[in-house]
Amino acid sequence: MKLYKTLAIALVFLMSISARAQEEKKWTLEECINYAFDNNLSVKRSELTMQGEEVTLKQNQLGRIPTLSGNIYNSWRWGRSIDPTTNVFTTQQINSNGASATSQFLVYNGLGLTRSIQRGQKNVEASYYDLEKSKNDVGLNVVLSYLQVIYTRELLGNSQFQYNTTKAQMEQTEKMVNAGSLPKTNLLDLQSQLASNEVDIINAENNASIAVLQLKQYLQIPAEEQFDIVTPEFDKDKYDFVPYSVGEVYKQAESIQPEIKSADLKIESAELGVKVAKADLVPNLRLQAQFSTNFSDLNSIPTGEYETVTQDPLPIGYLENDPSQVVNSFPFSREVPIREVQNIPTQWVDNRGWSAGFNIGIPIFNGWQTRSSIQRAKIEKDYAEISAKESRNQLRQTIETAYYDAQSAIKVYDAAVRQVEALEESFRVKEKSYNLGAVNYVDYQIASFNLFSAKSNLVRSKFDYIFKLKVLDFYLGNPLTL
Protein backbone atom coordinates (compact mmCIF):
# COMPACT_ATOMS: atom_id res chain seq x y z
CA MET A 1 0.00 0.00 0.00
CA LYS A 2 2.84 2.37 0.87
CA LEU A 3 4.43 1.59 -2.50
CA TYR A 4 1.24 2.61 -4.33
CA LYS A 5 1.04 5.86 -2.37
CA THR A 6 4.69 6.61 -3.13
CA LEU A 7 4.18 5.97 -6.85
CA ALA A 8 1.04 8.10 -6.89
CA ILE A 9 2.83 11.00 -5.16
CA ALA A 10 5.75 10.71 -7.58
CA LEU A 11 3.39 10.68 -10.55
CA VAL A 12 1.57 13.78 -9.32
CA PHE A 13 4.91 15.48 -8.68
CA LEU A 14 6.17 14.72 -12.19
CA MET A 15 2.90 15.89 -13.74
CA SER A 16 3.09 19.14 -11.79
CA ILE A 17 6.68 19.67 -12.92
CA SER A 18 5.67 18.99 -16.53
CA ALA A 19 2.70 21.35 -16.30
CA ARG A 20 4.86 24.04 -14.68
CA ALA A 21 7.50 23.63 -17.38
CA GLN A 22 4.85 23.97 -20.04
CA GLU A 23 3.45 27.08 -18.36
CA GLU A 24 6.88 28.61 -17.95
CA LYS A 25 7.97 27.96 -21.54
CA LYS A 26 8.39 31.15 -23.52
CA TRP A 27 8.60 31.17 -27.29
CA THR A 28 11.36 32.98 -29.11
CA LEU A 29 10.74 34.60 -32.45
CA GLU A 30 12.68 31.83 -34.23
CA GLU A 31 10.55 29.17 -32.54
CA CYS A 32 7.37 30.95 -33.57
CA ILE A 33 8.52 31.21 -37.18
CA ASN A 34 9.57 27.56 -37.38
CA TYR A 35 6.31 26.46 -35.78
CA ALA A 36 4.37 28.53 -38.31
CA PHE A 37 6.32 26.92 -41.15
CA ASP A 38 5.21 23.49 -39.92
CA ASN A 39 1.56 24.38 -39.28
CA ASN A 40 0.53 27.30 -41.46
CA LEU A 41 -2.07 26.24 -44.03
CA SER A 42 -0.68 28.49 -46.77
CA VAL A 43 2.70 26.81 -46.42
CA LYS A 44 1.08 23.36 -46.51
CA ARG A 45 -0.83 24.33 -49.65
CA SER A 46 2.40 25.40 -51.33
CA GLU A 47 4.03 22.11 -50.29
CA LEU A 48 1.18 20.16 -51.91
CA THR A 49 1.55 22.22 -55.09
CA MET A 50 5.25 21.36 -55.21
CA GLN A 51 4.48 17.67 -54.66
CA GLY A 52 2.00 17.79 -57.54
CA GLU A 53 4.65 19.25 -59.85
CA GLU A 54 7.09 16.52 -58.77
CA VAL A 55 4.51 13.85 -59.66
CA THR A 56 4.01 15.42 -63.09
CA LEU A 57 7.77 15.51 -63.69
CA LYS A 58 8.15 11.87 -62.70
CA GLN A 59 5.32 10.90 -65.04
CA ASN A 60 7.01 12.70 -67.94
CA GLN A 61 10.36 11.07 -67.15
CA LEU A 62 8.78 7.61 -67.13
CA GLY A 63 7.36 8.40 -70.57
CA ARG A 64 10.76 7.38 -71.96
CA ILE A 65 10.21 3.81 -70.78
CA PRO A 66 8.30 1.40 -73.07
CA THR A 67 4.71 0.79 -72.04
CA LEU A 68 3.48 -2.73 -71.31
CA SER A 69 -0.11 -3.86 -70.92
CA GLY A 70 -1.58 -7.33 -70.49
CA ASN A 71 -5.02 -8.82 -71.10
CA ILE A 72 -6.67 -12.11 -70.15
CA TYR A 73 -10.16 -13.09 -71.36
CA ASN A 74 -12.64 -15.95 -71.29
CA SER A 75 -15.83 -16.16 -73.36
CA TRP A 76 -18.73 -18.42 -74.31
CA ARG A 77 -20.31 -18.20 -77.77
CA TRP A 78 -23.39 -19.76 -79.35
CA GLY A 79 -24.63 -19.84 -82.94
CA ARG A 80 -22.52 -19.03 -85.93
CA SER A 81 -19.08 -17.85 -84.93
CA ILE A 82 -15.41 -18.29 -85.70
CA ASP A 83 -13.30 -20.72 -83.76
CA PRO A 84 -10.38 -18.57 -82.51
CA THR A 85 -7.87 -21.40 -82.85
CA THR A 86 -8.83 -22.56 -86.37
CA ASN A 87 -10.49 -19.43 -87.77
CA VAL A 88 -13.21 -21.72 -89.18
CA PHE A 89 -16.90 -20.87 -89.01
CA THR A 90 -18.87 -23.14 -86.71
CA THR A 91 -22.32 -23.29 -85.15
CA GLN A 92 -21.23 -25.21 -82.11
CA GLN A 93 -21.03 -23.72 -78.65
CA ILE A 94 -17.49 -22.50 -78.03
CA ASN A 95 -15.70 -21.83 -74.78
CA SER A 96 -12.48 -19.96 -75.43
CA ASN A 97 -9.95 -17.94 -73.51
CA GLY A 98 -6.63 -16.33 -74.14
CA ALA A 99 -3.98 -13.85 -73.07
CA SER A 100 -2.12 -11.07 -74.79
CA ALA A 101 0.54 -8.45 -74.00
CA THR A 102 1.32 -5.27 -75.90
CA SER A 103 4.31 -2.95 -75.62
CA GLN A 104 4.93 0.43 -77.22
CA PHE A 105 7.99 2.64 -77.28
CA LEU A 106 8.08 6.26 -78.36
CA VAL A 107 11.09 6.81 -80.57
CA TYR A 108 10.50 10.38 -81.71
CA ASN A 109 7.76 12.98 -81.35
CA GLY A 110 9.50 16.17 -82.31
CA LEU A 111 11.31 16.38 -78.92
CA GLY A 112 7.93 16.93 -77.30
CA LEU A 113 8.64 14.48 -74.49
CA THR A 114 12.10 15.92 -73.87
CA ARG A 115 10.68 19.44 -73.69
CA SER A 116 7.93 18.23 -71.34
CA ILE A 117 10.56 16.80 -68.98
CA GLN A 118 12.56 20.03 -69.09
CA ARG A 119 9.40 22.02 -68.45
CA GLY A 120 8.50 19.77 -65.54
CA GLN A 121 11.90 20.42 -63.99
CA LYS A 122 11.37 24.18 -64.32
CA ASN A 123 7.91 23.88 -62.74
CA VAL A 124 9.30 21.91 -59.80
CA GLU A 125 11.98 24.55 -59.21
CA ALA A 126 9.40 27.34 -59.52
CA SER A 127 7.07 25.62 -57.05
CA TYR A 128 9.99 25.28 -54.62
CA TYR A 129 10.56 29.04 -54.76
CA ASP A 130 6.81 29.60 -54.41
CA LEU A 131 7.02 27.56 -51.22
CA GLU A 132 9.92 29.73 -50.03
CA LYS A 133 7.90 32.86 -50.86
CA SER A 134 4.99 31.50 -48.83
CA LYS A 135 7.35 30.87 -45.90
CA ASN A 136 8.76 34.40 -46.22
CA ASP A 137 5.27 35.90 -46.09
CA VAL A 138 4.48 33.79 -43.04
CA GLY A 139 7.76 34.81 -41.40
CA LEU A 140 7.11 38.52 -41.90
CA ASN A 141 3.59 38.19 -40.54
CA VAL A 142 4.88 36.32 -37.50
CA VAL A 143 7.45 39.08 -36.88
CA LEU A 144 4.71 41.69 -37.11
CA SER A 145 2.42 39.75 -34.74
CA TYR A 146 5.33 39.06 -32.36
CA LEU A 147 6.27 42.74 -32.25
CA GLN A 148 2.60 43.63 -31.77
CA VAL A 149 2.54 41.53 -28.61
CA ILE A 150 5.66 43.28 -27.27
CA TYR A 151 4.30 46.68 -28.31
CA THR A 152 0.94 46.23 -26.56
CA ARG A 153 2.69 44.95 -23.44
CA GLU A 154 4.95 48.00 -23.34
CA LEU A 155 1.89 50.21 -23.68
CA LEU A 156 0.38 48.25 -20.80
CA GLY A 157 3.52 48.90 -18.74
CA ASN A 158 3.29 52.56 -19.64
CA SER A 159 -0.35 52.65 -18.49
CA GLN A 160 0.58 50.91 -15.23
CA PHE A 161 3.40 53.39 -14.67
CA GLN A 162 0.97 56.26 -15.23
CA TYR A 163 -1.45 54.66 -12.77
CA ASN A 164 1.25 54.23 -10.14
CA THR A 165 2.39 57.82 -10.62
CA THR A 166 -1.14 59.14 -10.23
CA LYS A 167 -1.75 56.91 -7.20
CA ALA A 168 1.42 58.09 -5.50
CA GLN A 169 0.49 61.69 -6.21
CA MET A 170 -3.04 61.12 -4.92
CA GLU A 171 -1.68 59.72 -1.66
CA GLN A 172 0.63 62.72 -1.32
CA THR A 173 -2.22 65.11 -2.11
CA GLU A 174 -4.47 63.38 0.43
CA LYS A 175 -1.91 64.07 3.16
CA MET A 176 -1.65 67.72 2.09
CA VAL A 177 -5.45 68.07 2.00
CA ASN A 178 -5.71 66.60 5.47
CA ALA A 179 -3.05 69.04 6.59
CA GLY A 180 -4.99 71.91 5.01
CA SER A 181 -2.27 72.77 2.49
CA LEU A 182 -4.39 71.99 -0.58
CA PRO A 183 -8.09 72.17 -1.31
CA LYS A 184 -10.09 68.94 -1.40
CA THR A 185 -10.92 69.49 -5.06
CA ASN A 186 -7.34 68.58 -5.93
CA LEU A 187 -7.82 65.20 -4.28
CA LEU A 188 -11.10 64.64 -6.06
CA ASP A 189 -9.47 65.50 -9.40
CA LEU A 190 -6.69 62.99 -8.75
CA GLN A 191 -9.19 60.31 -7.74
CA SER A 192 -10.98 60.90 -11.05
CA GLN A 193 -7.64 60.72 -12.88
CA LEU A 194 -6.78 57.47 -11.10
CA ALA A 195 -10.07 55.95 -12.25
CA SER A 196 -9.30 57.07 -15.79
CA ASN A 197 -5.86 55.45 -15.52
CA GLU A 198 -7.55 52.20 -14.41
CA VAL A 199 -9.66 52.28 -17.57
CA ASP A 200 -6.47 52.79 -19.60
CA ILE A 201 -4.93 49.74 -17.93
CA ILE A 202 -8.00 47.62 -18.67
CA ASN A 203 -7.94 48.67 -22.32
CA ALA A 204 -4.19 48.04 -22.54
CA GLU A 205 -4.59 44.59 -20.96
CA ASN A 206 -7.33 43.77 -23.44
CA ASN A 207 -5.17 44.92 -26.37
CA ALA A 208 -2.24 42.84 -25.09
CA SER A 209 -4.47 39.76 -24.73
CA ILE A 210 -5.87 40.23 -28.22
CA ALA A 211 -2.34 40.57 -29.64
CA VAL A 212 -1.34 37.27 -28.00
CA LEU A 213 -4.53 35.63 -29.27
CA GLN A 214 -3.88 36.82 -32.82
CA LEU A 215 -0.35 35.43 -32.71
CA LYS A 216 -1.65 32.09 -31.38
CA GLN A 217 -4.30 31.98 -34.12
CA TYR A 218 -1.68 32.67 -36.75
CA LEU A 219 0.40 29.80 -35.36
CA GLN A 220 -2.69 27.53 -35.22
CA ILE A 221 -2.39 27.24 -31.44
CA PRO A 222 -5.73 26.84 -29.55
CA ALA A 223 -6.69 29.83 -27.41
CA GLU A 224 -6.87 27.76 -24.21
CA GLU A 225 -3.26 26.56 -24.41
CA GLN A 226 -0.55 28.26 -22.35
CA PHE A 227 1.52 30.58 -24.48
CA ASP A 228 4.02 33.34 -23.85
CA ILE A 229 6.90 34.92 -25.72
CA VAL A 230 10.40 36.06 -24.93
CA THR A 231 10.69 39.85 -24.76
CA PRO A 232 14.13 40.87 -26.01
CA GLU A 233 15.92 43.93 -24.73
CA PHE A 234 15.84 46.84 -27.14
CA ASP A 235 19.25 48.24 -27.96
CA LYS A 236 19.22 50.96 -30.56
CA ASP A 237 22.83 50.25 -31.53
CA LYS A 238 21.69 46.74 -32.48
CA TYR A 239 19.27 48.16 -35.05
CA ASP A 240 21.43 50.44 -37.15
CA PHE A 241 20.07 51.55 -40.50
CA VAL A 242 21.23 49.51 -43.48
CA PRO A 243 24.44 50.88 -45.05
CA TYR A 244 23.08 50.66 -48.62
CA SER A 245 21.16 52.86 -50.97
CA VAL A 246 17.62 51.89 -51.92
CA GLY A 247 18.85 50.80 -55.36
CA GLU A 248 21.49 48.55 -53.83
CA VAL A 249 18.91 46.96 -51.54
CA TYR A 250 16.68 46.27 -54.52
CA LYS A 251 19.52 44.77 -56.56
CA GLN A 252 20.44 42.47 -53.70
CA ALA A 253 16.81 41.46 -53.15
CA GLU A 254 16.24 40.84 -56.86
CA SER A 255 19.07 38.32 -56.91
CA ILE A 256 17.92 36.30 -53.89
CA GLN A 257 14.19 36.69 -53.37
CA PRO A 258 12.27 33.51 -54.30
CA GLU A 259 9.34 35.27 -56.00
CA ILE A 260 11.72 36.68 -58.63
CA LYS A 261 13.40 33.32 -59.22
CA SER A 262 10.00 31.65 -59.46
CA ALA A 263 8.75 34.24 -61.96
CA ASP A 264 11.83 33.78 -64.19
CA LEU A 265 11.51 30.00 -64.07
CA LYS A 266 7.86 30.27 -65.06
CA ILE A 267 8.90 32.25 -68.13
CA GLU A 268 11.34 29.48 -69.09
CA SER A 269 8.62 26.90 -68.44
CA ALA A 270 6.20 28.80 -70.67
CA GLU A 271 8.81 28.99 -73.47
CA LEU A 272 9.21 25.22 -73.25
CA GLY A 273 5.42 24.93 -73.29
CA VAL A 274 5.38 26.60 -76.70
CA LYS A 275 7.94 24.08 -77.98
CA VAL A 276 5.92 21.19 -76.55
CA ALA A 277 2.82 22.43 -78.36
CA LYS A 278 4.74 22.82 -81.63
CA ALA A 279 5.96 19.22 -81.37
CA ASP A 280 2.45 18.07 -82.28
CA LEU A 281 3.05 19.45 -85.79
CA VAL A 282 5.86 16.93 -86.35
CA PRO A 283 5.33 13.24 -87.33
CA ASN A 284 5.94 10.82 -84.48
CA LEU A 285 7.47 7.35 -84.59
CA ARG A 286 6.53 4.50 -82.28
CA LEU A 287 7.73 0.91 -82.09
CA GLN A 288 5.30 -1.73 -80.94
CA ALA A 289 5.35 -5.45 -80.17
CA GLN A 290 2.61 -7.88 -79.26
CA PHE A 291 2.30 -11.39 -77.89
CA SER A 292 -0.91 -13.46 -77.83
CA THR A 293 -2.18 -16.98 -77.28
CA ASN A 294 -5.58 -18.68 -76.89
CA PHE A 295 -7.60 -21.80 -76.10
CA SER A 296 -10.79 -23.29 -77.59
CA ASP A 297 -12.74 -26.33 -76.46
CA LEU A 298 -13.24 -27.22 -80.17
CA ASN A 299 -9.53 -27.66 -80.70
CA SER A 300 -8.87 -31.43 -80.50
CA ILE A 301 -6.12 -33.84 -81.66
CA PRO A 302 -6.06 -37.62 -82.41
CA THR A 303 -5.20 -39.80 -79.42
CA GLY A 304 -3.81 -42.67 -81.55
CA GLU A 305 -6.77 -44.85 -80.67
CA TYR A 306 -9.77 -45.71 -82.84
CA GLU A 307 -13.38 -46.54 -82.29
CA THR A 308 -15.84 -48.47 -84.50
CA VAL A 309 -18.64 -46.44 -85.97
CA THR A 310 -21.61 -48.39 -87.43
CA GLN A 311 -23.60 -46.82 -90.17
CA ASP A 312 -27.22 -47.95 -90.49
CA PRO A 313 -28.83 -48.22 -93.98
CA LEU A 314 -29.65 -44.88 -95.43
CA PRO A 315 -31.91 -44.01 -98.39
CA ILE A 316 -29.82 -43.40 -101.45
CA GLY A 317 -32.46 -43.17 -104.24
CA TYR A 318 -35.53 -44.64 -105.98
CA LEU A 319 -36.23 -47.29 -108.63
CA GLU A 320 -36.58 -45.82 -112.08
CA ASN A 321 -39.57 -47.99 -112.98
CA ASP A 322 -41.15 -47.57 -109.55
CA PRO A 323 -40.34 -44.32 -107.81
CA SER A 324 -42.30 -45.44 -104.81
CA GLN A 325 -39.62 -48.02 -104.06
CA VAL A 326 -36.79 -46.56 -101.94
CA VAL A 327 -33.28 -47.83 -102.46
CA ASN A 328 -31.20 -48.09 -99.22
CA SER A 329 -27.48 -48.45 -98.73
CA PHE A 330 -25.92 -51.45 -97.14
CA PRO A 331 -25.10 -51.10 -93.44
CA PHE A 332 -21.40 -50.89 -92.75
CA SER A 333 -18.86 -50.21 -89.94
CA ARG A 334 -15.64 -48.21 -89.95
CA GLU A 335 -12.80 -47.29 -87.65
CA VAL A 336 -12.45 -43.59 -86.85
CA PRO A 337 -9.68 -41.99 -84.78
CA ILE A 338 -10.56 -40.85 -81.29
CA ARG A 339 -9.85 -37.13 -80.64
CA GLU A 340 -9.61 -35.24 -77.37
CA VAL A 341 -9.60 -31.53 -76.50
CA GLN A 342 -6.16 -30.23 -75.58
CA ASN A 343 -5.90 -28.73 -72.10
CA ILE A 344 -5.44 -24.98 -71.56
CA PRO A 345 -1.68 -24.95 -70.81
CA THR A 346 -0.95 -27.05 -73.90
CA GLN A 347 -3.02 -24.88 -76.22
CA TRP A 348 -1.54 -21.70 -74.74
CA VAL A 349 1.91 -23.03 -75.55
CA ASP A 350 0.97 -24.27 -79.04
CA ASN A 351 -1.01 -21.16 -80.02
CA ARG A 352 1.61 -18.58 -79.12
CA GLY A 353 2.12 -15.72 -81.55
CA TRP A 354 4.32 -12.66 -81.76
CA SER A 355 4.23 -9.49 -83.80
CA ALA A 356 6.39 -6.40 -84.09
CA GLY A 357 6.23 -3.26 -86.13
CA PHE A 358 6.34 0.50 -86.14
CA ASN A 359 3.83 3.26 -86.51
CA ILE A 360 4.38 6.71 -87.98
CA GLY A 361 1.75 9.25 -87.05
CA ILE A 362 1.52 12.13 -89.49
CA PRO A 363 -0.56 15.12 -88.34
CA ILE A 364 -2.61 16.51 -91.20
CA PHE A 365 -5.69 18.20 -89.80
CA ASN A 366 -7.28 17.93 -86.36
CA GLY A 367 -9.74 20.77 -86.27
CA TRP A 368 -7.08 23.42 -85.57
CA GLN A 369 -6.46 21.93 -82.11
CA THR A 370 -2.67 21.99 -82.40
CA ARG A 371 -2.59 25.58 -83.66
CA SER A 372 -4.92 26.60 -80.84
CA SER A 373 -2.65 24.87 -78.31
CA ILE A 374 0.34 26.77 -79.70
CA GLN A 375 -1.51 30.08 -79.45
CA ARG A 376 -2.57 29.34 -75.86
CA ALA A 377 1.04 28.42 -74.99
CA LYS A 378 2.27 31.73 -76.43
CA ILE A 379 -0.36 33.61 -74.44
CA GLU A 380 0.78 31.76 -71.31
CA LYS A 381 4.35 32.83 -72.06
CA ASP A 382 3.30 36.48 -72.43
CA TYR A 383 1.35 36.20 -69.19
CA ALA A 384 4.42 34.78 -67.41
CA GLU A 385 6.55 37.68 -68.67
CA ILE A 386 4.00 40.21 -67.41
CA SER A 387 3.83 38.43 -64.06
CA ALA A 388 7.63 38.56 -63.79
CA LYS A 389 7.64 42.29 -64.47
CA GLU A 390 4.85 42.74 -61.97
CA SER A 391 6.81 40.79 -59.33
CA ARG A 392 9.86 42.98 -59.89
CA ASN A 393 7.80 46.18 -59.75
CA GLN A 394 6.06 45.04 -56.59
CA LEU A 395 9.39 44.10 -54.99
CA ARG A 396 10.96 47.42 -55.96
CA GLN A 397 7.96 49.42 -54.67
CA THR A 398 7.86 47.45 -51.41
CA ILE A 399 11.58 48.03 -50.82
CA GLU A 400 11.34 51.72 -51.69
CA THR A 401 8.42 52.17 -49.31
CA ALA A 402 10.13 50.20 -46.53
CA TYR A 403 13.40 52.07 -47.07
CA TYR A 404 11.97 55.57 -46.82
CA ASP A 405 9.54 54.53 -44.08
CA ALA A 406 12.47 53.20 -42.06
CA GLN A 407 14.41 56.42 -42.60
CA SER A 408 11.41 58.41 -41.41
CA ALA A 409 10.79 56.02 -38.50
CA ILE A 410 14.30 56.42 -37.09
CA LYS A 411 13.91 60.18 -37.20
CA VAL A 412 10.54 59.93 -35.48
CA TYR A 413 12.05 57.63 -32.85
CA ASP A 414 14.96 59.97 -32.14
CA ALA A 415 12.54 62.89 -31.85
CA ALA A 416 10.31 60.84 -29.54
CA VAL A 417 13.29 60.04 -27.30
CA ARG A 418 14.15 63.74 -27.01
CA GLN A 419 10.51 64.61 -26.39
CA VAL A 420 10.20 62.08 -23.55
CA GLU A 421 13.43 63.31 -21.95
CA ALA A 422 12.21 66.89 -22.08
CA LEU A 423 8.71 66.09 -20.82
CA GLU A 424 10.07 63.94 -18.01
CA GLU A 425 12.05 66.92 -16.74
CA SER A 426 9.06 69.19 -17.28
CA PHE A 427 6.78 66.83 -15.40
CA ARG A 428 9.30 66.50 -12.55
CA VAL A 429 9.35 70.29 -12.13
CA LYS A 430 5.55 70.58 -12.42
CA GLU A 431 5.04 67.78 -9.91
CA LYS A 432 7.37 69.43 -7.39
CA SER A 433 5.66 72.78 -7.93
CA TYR A 434 2.23 71.15 -7.59
CA ASN A 435 3.22 69.58 -4.29
CA LEU A 436 4.31 73.04 -3.09
CA GLY A 437 1.04 74.56 -4.27
CA ALA A 438 2.74 76.74 -6.88
CA VAL A 439 1.01 75.04 -9.82
CA ASN A 440 -2.68 74.25 -10.14
CA TYR A 441 -4.06 70.82 -10.91
CA VAL A 442 -4.86 71.60 -14.57
CA ASP A 443 -1.23 72.38 -15.35
CA TYR A 444 -0.12 69.29 -13.47
CA GLN A 445 -2.62 67.09 -15.33
CA ILE A 446 -1.57 68.49 -18.71
CA ALA A 447 2.07 67.76 -17.94
CA SER A 448 1.17 64.23 -16.84
CA PHE A 449 -0.93 63.59 -19.95
CA ASN A 450 1.76 64.96 -22.26
CA LEU A 451 4.36 62.68 -20.70
CA PHE A 452 2.08 59.66 -20.98
CA SER A 453 1.31 60.42 -24.66
CA ALA A 454 5.01 60.99 -25.41
CA LYS A 455 5.96 57.65 -23.87
CA SER A 456 3.22 55.92 -25.86
CA ASN A 457 4.49 57.57 -29.05
CA LEU A 458 8.02 56.48 -28.17
CA VAL A 459 6.91 52.86 -27.86
CA ARG A 460 4.98 53.09 -31.10
CA SER A 461 7.84 54.68 -33.03
CA LYS A 462 10.34 52.20 -31.63
CA PHE A 463 8.47 49.13 -32.85
CA ASP A 464 7.53 50.80 -36.10
CA TYR A 465 11.23 51.36 -36.80
CA ILE A 466 12.20 47.83 -35.72
CA PHE A 467 9.67 46.21 -38.03
CA LYS A 468 10.50 48.37 -41.03
CA LEU A 469 14.20 47.78 -40.49
CA LYS A 470 13.53 44.02 -40.23
CA VAL A 471 11.75 44.22 -43.58
CA LEU A 472 14.85 45.74 -45.16
CA ASP A 473 17.06 43.13 -43.47
CA PHE A 474 14.81 40.43 -44.81
CA TYR A 475 15.10 41.69 -48.38
CA LEU A 476 18.87 41.80 -47.98
CA GLY A 477 18.77 38.09 -47.15
CA ASN A 478 19.36 38.42 -43.40
CA PRO A 479 17.54 36.05 -41.01
CA LEU A 480 14.39 37.21 -39.26
CA THR A 481 15.63 37.75 -35.71
CA LEU A 482 15.25 40.42 -33.06
Phi and psi at residue 233, to the nearest 5°: -75, 140
Same domain, 145 and 242: yes
Same domain, 393 and 259: yes
Same domain, 477 and 377: yes
Same domain, 277 and 320: no
Residue 232 CB neighbour total at 10 angstroms? 14
- CB-count exposure of residue 427 (10 Å: 0-12, 13-18, 19+): buried
If we measure between CA atoms, which residue out of 67, 64, 226, 210 comes closest to residue 148?
A: 210
pLDDT of residue 471: 83
Domain membership flag for residue 222: yes
Model confidence at 72: pLDDT above 60: yes
Q: Do 287 and 104 touch, CB atoms closer than 8 A?
A: yes
Model confidence at 184: pLDDT above 70: yes
Model confidence at 383: pLDDT above 50: yes
Q: CATH code at 264?
A: 1.20.1600.10
Q: Which of 102-116, 143-157, 174-188 shows the lowest per-residue confidence on average (mean pLDDT)?
A: 174-188
Q: What percent of the chain has pLDDT over 70?
A: 89
**What is the rounded average pLDDT of the residues 324-339?**
71
Mean residue pLDDT of the chain comes to 83
How far apart, in whole angstroms, are the C-alpha atoms of residue 276 and residue 123? 14
How far apart, in whole angstroms, are the C-alpha atoms of residue 243 and residue 406? 13
Same domain, 276 and 317: no
Residues 6+ away with beta carbon under 8 Å from 467: 143, 144, 147
Amino acid at 247: G
Same domain, 467 and 380: yes
pLDDT tens digits for range 345-381: 888 888 888 999 999 988 888 888 889 999 999 999 9
Sort strands 67-77 and 81-82 into parallel, antiparallel or unpaired.
unpaired
Sort strands 353-361 and 284-296 into parallel, antiparallel or unpaired.
antiparallel
Same domain, 409 and 277: yes
Domain membership flag for residue 360: no
pLDDT-based confidence at residue 45 (cuts at 50, 70, 90): very high
Model confidence at 14: pLDDT above 60: no
pLDDT of residue 3: 46
Domain membership flag for residue 427: yes
Domain membership flag for residue 356: no
Q: Do 279 and 110 touch, CB atoms closer than 8 A?
A: yes
Domain membership flag for residue 72: no
pLDDT tens digits for range 212-236: 999 998 888 888 888 888 887 766 6
Residues 6+ away with beta carbon under 8 Å from 134: 40, 42, 43, 45, 46
**What is the rounded average pLDDT of the residues 111-140?**
92
Identify the domain containing residue 325 by its residue range. Answer: 300-341
**What is the rounded average pLDDT of the residues 380-408?**
91
The tally of domains found in the chain comes to: 2
How far apart, in whole angstroms, are the C-alpha atoms of residue 334 and residue 189? 139
Tell me the three-class secondary structure of the chain, residue by residue: CHHHHHHHHHHHHHHHHHHHHHHHCCECHHHHHHHHHHHCHHHHHHHHHHHHHHHHHHHHHHCCCCEEEEEEEEEEECCCEECCCCCCEECCCEEEEEEEEEEEEEEECCCHHHHHHHHHHHHHHHHHHHHHHHHHHHHHHHHHHHHHHHHHHHHHHHHHHHHHHHHHHHHHHHHHHHHCCCCHHHHHHHHHHHHHHHHHHHHHHHHHHHHHHHHHHHCCCCCCCCCCECCCCCCHHHHCCCCCCHHHHHHHHHHHCHHHHHHHHHHHHHHHHHHHHHHHHCCEEEEEEEEEEEEECCCEEEEEEEEEEEECCCEEEECCCCCCCEEECCCEEEEEEEEEECCHHHHHHHCCEEEEEEEEECCCCCCCHHHHHHHHHHHHHHHHHHHHHHHHHHHHHHHHHHHHHHHHHHHHHHHHHHHHHHHHHHHHHHHHHHHCCCCCHHHHHHHHHHHHHHHHHHHHHHHHHHHHHHHHHHHCCCCCCC
Q: Which of 117-131, 389-403, 423-437 shows the lowest per-residue confidence on average (mean pLDDT)?
A: 423-437
Q: Which of 19-33, 73-87, 173-187 shows the lowest per-residue confidence on average (mean pLDDT)?
A: 19-33
pLDDT of residue 2: 47
pLDDT-based confidence at residue 239 (cuts at 50, 70, 90): low
pLDDT tens digits for range 420-438: 888 878 878 777 776 776 6
How far apart, in whole angstroms, are the C-alpha atoms of residue 189 and residue 354? 107
Same domain, 246 and 310: no
pLDDT of residue 389: 94
**What is the rounded average pLDDT of the residues 78-93?**
77
Domain membership flag for residue 381: yes
Same domain, 214 and 180: yes
Same domain, 262 and 401: yes
Same domain, 266 and 195: yes
CA angle 228–229–232, rounded 5-degree value: 150
- CB-count exposure of residue 100 (10 Å: 0-12, 13-18, 19+): middle
Domain membership flag for residue 314: yes
Torsion of CA 53, 58, 63, 64, to 10 degrees: 130
Q: What percent of the chain has pLDDT over 90?
A: 26
Same domain, 403 and 435: yes
How far apart, in whole angstroms, are the C-alpha atoms of residue 280 and residue 110? 7
Domain membership flag for residue 265: yes
pLDDT tens digits for range 244-289: 788 888 998 999 899 999 999 999 999 999 999 999 888 999 999 9
